[in-house]
Amino acid sequence: MTVRFLALYETPTDPDTFDRHYREVHVPLGRRLPGLRRYTVGRNVAAVRGEGPYHLVAELEWDTMDELRAAFASPEGRAAADDAARLQELAPVRSMIFVVEESVG
List, for residues 55-103, the tens digit of each pLDDT value. 999 999 999 999 999 999 999 999 999 999 999 999 999 889 888 876 6
Angle, CA 52 vertex, CA 28 and CA 47 arms, to 5°: 90
Cα 71 from Cα 44, distance rounded (Å): 28
Per-residue confidence (pLDDT) for residue 3, from 0 to 100: 94
List, for residues 11-60, the tens digit of each pLDDT value. 999 999 999 999 999 999 999 999 999 999 998 776 777 666 789 999 99
CATH pick for 2-100 out of 3.30.70.100, 3.40.50.620, 3.30.1280.10, 3.40.50.1980: 3.30.70.100
- Is the separation of the CB atoms in 26 and 58 below 8 Å? no
Single pTM value for the model? 0.86
Q: How confident is the model at residue 4 (pLDDT cuts 50, 70, 90)?
A: very high
